[in-house]
Chains A and B, each alone.
Chain A
Amino acid sequence: MNTAPAVQKTSIALAVLLLAGCATVNINESIEQTNQELNGFTKGQLSLVQTDAQRQAMAAKASDILKEPLSQPAAVELMLTHSPQFQTVLAESWAQAALAAQGGRIHNPVFAFERLRIRDELELGRLLSFGLLDLLSFPARQGIARTQIDRAQLQLTGNVVDQVTQVRQAWVDAVAAQQAHTYAQQVFESAQTSAELARRMQEVGNFTRLQRARQHSFYADAAVNLAATRHKATSSREALVRMLGLSSEQAAQLKLPERLPDLPEAPKAPSEVAKRGEDRLDVRMAKQGFEASVKSQGLGNIASFLDIEAGVRYDTDFENDTGERSNKKGYEIELALPIFDWGGMKRDAMNANTLAAANRLEATLRNAQSTLRESYSAYRTTYDIARHYRDEILPLKQTIADENLLRYNGMFIGVFELLADSRDQVNTVVQAINAQADFWRADAALQATVVGKPMTVSVSGAAANAGGNAGGGH
């Protein structure tokens, strides 16, 4: 009997199977998909930089972007294309997807070769074996792999949202801190002017040492605040630099706009953000998780009982005495006997995992709307507070400043009161900037929450800090 063709046939069948149904991963397609999913979010700018040519193109683009003061969308673009940290996220996602795809492949057949000698007898054993269950469960495992790849895809999307939100917030922090620093500088100058004027007042005998010391102490305090805000401006700028992955030269080029963007004309309506729910990332991830559990449970149920190895055997015996040789061929099947372990615990664990996944899905569905409401509330509250600063508090402070100047003109108050008032007004401006920054952070968080990456943001209610704190540093 000729067994060779049988082996051949089996091999061909396996090869066909592999070619026909193996899960593969193309990272560029995956990135493209994320781009599409997050169309409004990343503006399709996501790409994995793999070649030197690409790297150079990105560097050129980065230096183009850095020529202008960096807007928030430009910061996002810069990070997506340029940041090594972000490229790490992409590469890791690729690795994850590739590993997931690996799980969907058939294990390689095992070829065993034996050479046994019994006195004059030499036996050469050849065994080509493969996991039968592996083969039988191939379609199921392929499904699981597909799910895992999809999951990796979702994970990537989630990570992108995360990173984009972080860079947006880092940008807001940096611009706000820089603005606060500018105003702290004004407070400092006002205090410095008061101190200098007081010094001259004492010099000509119009002020007592006490009066001068009081003015000087404002100055001394303002210097501390100025130093603190300067560091805050530096540290938040550097945080942004890290998010963007800028080199020292690029960091030196980085210019931030002088002001945060104005508040939008009107806040987003709740209906604009509430309609999405089913297609949110977190919901989809939970669904994927649940499906993966169900699928792997189907397979796992069998695998927990059985492990079948099938092999094709082709042995040759040599009789030294006679110089005869004879061939043996056949097959062998190896079964693990479930005597000690019927796999009950394994199945329990899988059941539990599936149950957890089902509940997780349910919880995620419920949380999704709740986090959206919370995030919207933060967005709306910070918008209202920032608008209140813009429309109510700042004009009021302006009125106070104007009226104080009129009172100074009429000699109802002196220049020191005028300067003290100007410090007060500037502190309110700093609070207004903080309120505006709170809004833009909440806006970024809401955008992330809408696509399904819930983010919480603290609403400070800047008015609570009203007065006192000269120069911000919040």
Chain B
Amino acid sequence: MTSRRDFFKAAALTGGAVAAASVSKVAMSALPEPVLQTSPDTMPPLVPNTGRPYNPVVTLNGWTLPWRMNQGVKEFHLVAEPVLREMAPGMTAHLWGYNGQSPGPTIEVVEGDRVRIFVTNKLPEHTSVHWHGQRLPNGMDGVTGLNQPGIPAGKTFVYEFEARRPGTFMYHPHADEMVQMAMGMMGFWVTHPKNKHPLISDVDRDYCFLLNAYDIDPGAYTPKIMTMLDFNLWTWNSRLFPGISPLVARKNDRVRLRVGNLTMTNHPIHIHGHEFEVTGTDGGPTPKAGRWPEVTVDIAVGQMRQMEFIASEEGDWAFHCHKSHHTMNAMGHDVPTMIGVDHRGMTKKITKLIPDYMVMGERGMADMSEMQMPLPDNTLPMMTGEGPFGSVEMGGMFSMLKVRKDQKPGDYSDPGWYKHPEGTIAYEFTGELAKPARSSGAGQPSMKLAQKQQPHIELKVRKPTGHAGH
């Protein structure tokens, strides 16, 4: 069996290895054969072998769509179709996507390219493609009803325009948009600058991914398309931690991250160990004077942010959305807080009624990642991921930036866990603790309570026990 990479190379060279089965060859003869991707892994960058040269991006857990040159026009073929997307090992969703995956393949072109995109609709309903953020003729903007009729099921439409402006864009349907986006239809678009651009730096690693969210009941496979805000799976490129690939860099590489948000809420994307600058939005490169250092950037709904930094610090650095619920997998939002509740005598009673019952949450939720308990089918634990020091206790929008001095240029493979130099890991203190100095007078209330609160319960703080001398 050929490896995925070989397969991909072959696909890129021949302009398509796997043809869409249900569209007739004759009908498709004028079209570039659609290339499908069956793997959810991160594919290496697609170095252009035709057309203008550019420095390709790496799509996290995704791939770049090969094209064919036809009399100077770059021709792509997108097939909108139902797909199976492995969101993380152990969980697969029934989504809609393009060319075998959700999100669809990244389209990479160069400023000034004439681009022709064939869109074949293999969905059960009409669709269209809106090229989010692009300057293009109005009739190519893809809003059904407004700019074009919907692409009926089984038909192929052609979009053609010039990629006028360099930058980072997205594509998604503008037909039954709520449903089709909730089902995972979206993709990335990168227009590389034709020439050297004063505001666009050359980078060693250029990563891109989309933020998307799904509501799939534990044990189910298909997203609930009516959900507006209470999604339970927060994903990058329709993948969840621990299924999201790490971003790897050679020490001192200049790294660019392009992150687009197609969920229904904002995401403060946070990186550890480094500061970055926002160098661009979907509106274009940011003027240098408008850049300031950040460790977190909030990406609003429908926005794209482009961050750059020098990966100067070796290690395995967490990289995640800072909404802590977004770094969890599916969980119940109505589960009562059990912290500190004495379960003595209760467990036995409950197991009499429910034999396999186990107490959880009495000490917090971390138990969750330690206990291996059976879950509903097709469900990932709420917090998971085994790191070198135990469970990472994360899920959802979480990955790592892995910086290594010996990572080869162009090598995107996972270098494994970071080996910390001696004396650089937090350690347990075993000496005597001095009595902490505590303020006694400061911080009086500025106004007195008119009515005294009746303390009707005794508040208890539950502290870990077993440590003498505290």
Contacts and interface: CB of A to CB of B under 8 A. Distances in A.
Interface in B56-78: none
Given A186-B353, A418-B354, A410 B341 contact: no
Interface string B344-362: 0010011011101110110
Interface in A402-427: 403, 405-416, 418-419, 422, 426
A386 to B, nearest CB: 24
Contacts of A415: 336, 338, 350, 357
B460 A189 contact: no
A428 to B, nearest CB: 14
A205 interface: yes
Given A200-B342, A407-B376, A207 B336 contact: yes
A407 B218 contact: yes
A186 B354 CA distance: 11
A418 B357 CA distance: 9
A411 B360 CA distance: 8
Contacts of A203: 457-458
Interface in A363-421: 401, 403, 405-416, 418-419
Given A186-B353, A193-B346, A411 B219 contact: no
B153 interface: no
B447 interface: no
B336 A193 contact: no
B154 interface: no
A410 B336 contact: no
A406 B375 contact: yes
A81 to B, nearest CB: 41
B353 to A, nearest CB: 5
Interface residues of A, number: 34
B350 A410 contact: no
A359 interface: no
A413 B354 CA distance: 15
Interface hub of B341, B358, B368, B373 (most chain A Cβ within 10 A): B341
Nearest to B356: A405
Contacts of A200: 341-342, 346
A189 B341 contact: no
Contact of B354 (A206, A403, A416, A422): A422
Interface in A159-200: 186, 189-190, 192-193, 196-197, 200
Contacts of A408: 357, 360
Contacts of B340: 204, 206
A189 B353 CA distance: 8
A201 interface: yes
A85 interface: no
A197 B336 CA distance: 11
B350 A193 contact: yes
B339 interface: yes
Contacts of A196: 346
Given A193-B346, A197-B346, A419-B350, A411 B332 contact: yes
A193 B457 contact: no
Interface in B285-315: none
A254 to B, nearest CB: 27
A193 B358 CA distance: 14
Given A189-B352, A203-B457, A409 B375 contact: yes
B318 interface: no
A414 B360 CA distance: 9
B17 interface: no
B422 interface: no
B353 A419 contact: yes
Contacts of B349: 189, 192-193
B382 interface: yes
B379 interface: yes
A288 interface: no
B331 interface: yes
A24 interface: no
Given A186-B353, A197-B343, A415-B338, 19 more contacts: A189-B349, A190-B353, A201-B341, A205-B459, A205-B460, A207-B336, A401-B354, A403-B219, A406-B218, A409-B358, A409-B373, A410-B218, A410-B381, A411-B361, A412-B332, A414-B336, A416-B336, A418-B357, A422-B354
Interface of B: 218-219, 330-332, 334-343, 346, 349-350, 352-354, 356-358, 360-361, 365, 368, 373-376, 379, 381-382, 457-460, 462
